[in-house]
Amino acid sequence: FPMAATDPQVLALAAQITESREQDIPLLLLKLKGILSSPFLGCEESNKIKQDIYDYGLTQYCLLVLKQDHSQLHGAWATAAQLAEILSHCCVGLEVKEDPEEFYRKFLPSVTDSLLVLGKRLQARFIRAIKDKEKQDFLHWFQIVTDAICWLLGGHMQLAARVLQNDRFLQLLITDDVETAIVMMSVLHNILRINSSVLLQVEEETLHSVLDELVYKLSSTTNPAVGSAATKLLLLVAKSCKQLVQLFTARYKGLKGLLSKQWTGKGFDREVNQLWDLLDLEQSSGKGEMQKQYEAACVIQAAWRGFQTRKRLKKLPQAVVTLQRSFRAKREQELQHLTKQKEDEALKLQMQLQRQRAMRLFHERQLALLEVVHASQVNKYMQEMEEKSALTIQRFWRGYRARRIFHQQKQYLKEYKAAVIIQRAACKFLEKRRRRTPLSPWKEPKGLTDEQRLALQQKVDDYIKLHPASQMSEERSRELHVQAQAKLAQFLLRNRLDQRAAQRREALLAQVNTDVELLMNAPGLAETTEKDFGAFMSRSIPVATKARQAHNTMLKYTRWPWWKKLGDEFMEDDLIPDDAINTELETLFIGGRK
């Protein structure tokens, strides 16, 4: 702590705060209000006490308390509002000698941010409050905080631009609540009185936001208090800078009419007339050629609108007839739609009743059949019914899938046919054009001269000399022919023998497979009959049996339904897949092949 002469009250309070608990510090800081408002203090003594308070860190304590949750403090929002007032009074008139940059660059901006945050929270609580007593208390505390902000800006004018550019200040100003809106416009009025050129120091977006909100309040409310505050603010802005008057006339072209129609005779006509005169003076000074062009455009637009109106009036009877026709057509269409909808609903209800009746009859028939069927055959009967049901479901599903594929392919087929037609037309067109083209007259080739003929003959003789033809005697040719004929006869004889051997192997393999199958399906020795013995002794009976089975399989395959043969459109009629025959016969071998 500094060793210079310090006010004993400040010293005692600082010592008490250092020894107290954290939750008791806000109530102790409220004692600063009594120290600062002592009637025996002069200007120098007051500034000395503020310096001591800052040196002992009590202002920093106030700032830290304001940054906490205000609802957890002793006294809640009342304590926070009083601490805000104390903090603003401690900062005004304070001259920091040690590290002033810390005070002006960091501490004071932090104080303004904390005060704006507190004001925003009090405003939100006031708007949400229901009881009148709570609303009065929150409004009173809100006014204390706004007065503290104005007091702080009065002592430190450089903070005005920072406050206006703070988003929370714009949030406080942009509100539909009447009481807090009037308080915030009074704060803005005090800021402009303290520093009239502050609006020229802020960013253009911030300036437009503030002015837009003031003009919006004039246009959206009928409350005389809000209108008076907004009008006075706009008048103060217009008087402070001529550039802003030009901005008014360029950005808010209907402001004059709004003032004269809505806010005349509301108790603040003097301010309204002054603002109206300023706007009128600016418009009259900048009228000139632009006004003439505007008036000319108005005349042209009026003439054009009159022409359009007369033209529309002439077409009015026809338009009425067209409107009536379209109305009747639409009404008829709606009636047809309602009729169709009723018919659909009736049909749907009828189909549902028929379906229910059919299901009931089906279940009754099932129960009747179950009563007739023997108990030992019930499971078999139920299994057959399940298989039939499954087949029916599969049949409908495959039919649906085939129709869907057909519709998809139908579009492709249509496109293909269209392409064929286009190509055919193009080919015909090209053929016609080719026929119309006249043929060039026949030109006989130019004959060779004697010199060219001699030169060409010389080239032929030279080539024959360089590439003599190989000659073969007649005896040598006959000998080669005889050799070729002998080799060809040997190849054909060997090939025929190989084919016979392969056929014999296949026949033996088929016979072995047939014997194996007969042995596997043969009954036991106790059950053997003469018929079974003849099957093993005769070679023709197994072959006939196999042929009969293959024939039955082919007949069954030809009787298959169409949905089983969807993938066989391009198969030959006499070609039956071996897998299908094997499946039907349920055997291991047919014709010697697996």
**Domain ranges in the chain?**
1-156
- The Cα 192–Cα 149 span in angstroms is 13
CB neighbour list of residue 251: distance below 8 Å, 6 or more residues apart: 208, 211
- The Cα 252–Cα 216 span in angstroms is 10
Residue 117: what pLDDT? 84
- Other Cβ atoms less than 10 A from the Cβ of 170: the count is 15
Residue 247: what pLDDT? 74
Give the model confidence (pLDDT) of 346-355 as tens digits. Answer: 999 999 999 8
pLDDT over 80 (residue 343):
yes
Q: What is the mean pLDDT of residues 231-248?
A: 77
Q: The whole model's pTM is what?
A: 0.45
Lowest-pLDDT range, 202-216, 248-262, 535-549? 535-549
- How large is the C-alpha radius of gyration of the chain? 56
- Residue 215: both structure tokens together: 């003009």
CB neighbour list of residue 127: distance below 8 Å, 6 or more residues apart: 175, 177, 180
267-278: burial string, b at 16+ Cβ within 10 Å, e else: ebeebbeebbeb
Residue 187 · residue 233 · CB < 8 Å: no
Give the model confidence (pLDDT) of 373-417 as tens digits. Answer: 777 777 887 888 889 889 999 999 999 999 888 888 888 888 999
Q: What is the mean pLDDT of residues 570-579?
A: 47
- The Cα 228–Cα 172 span in angstroms is 19
More confident residue, 494 or 167: 494
- The Cα 165–Cα 158 span in angstroms is 12
CB neighbour list of residue 340: distance below 8 Å, 6 or more residues apart: none
Find how far residue 388's CA is from the centre of its chain: 49
Residue type, 126: F
Q: What is the mean pLDDT of residues 260-288?
A: 72
- Residue 77: both structure tokens together: 């929002």
Give the model confidence (pLDDT) of 2-59 as tens digits. Answer: 444 667 777 777 777 777 777 777 777 777 777 777 655 667 777 777 777 777 777 7
Residue 574: what pLDDT? 46
Residue 442: what pLDDT? 57
Find how far residue 65's CA is from the centre of its chain: 46
Helices 76-91, 132-155: axis angle to 10 degrees equals: 10
Judge residue 105's burial from the number of C-beta atoms within 10 Å of its C-beta, 0-12 exposed, 13-18 middle, 19 or more buried.
exposed
More confident residue, 249 or 173: 173
Task: Look over the chain and give the mean of its residue pLDDT values, rounded to a whole number.
Answer: 78
Per-residue pLDDT band at 286 (split at 50, 70, 90): low
Q: Which residues pair with 590 in a beta bridge?
A: 593
Q: In 3D, which of 195, 261, 193, 191 has the Cα closest to residue 227?
A: 261
Give the model confidence (pLDDT) of 415-454 as tens digits. Answer: 999 999 999 999 999 998 888 866 565 556 667 788 888 9
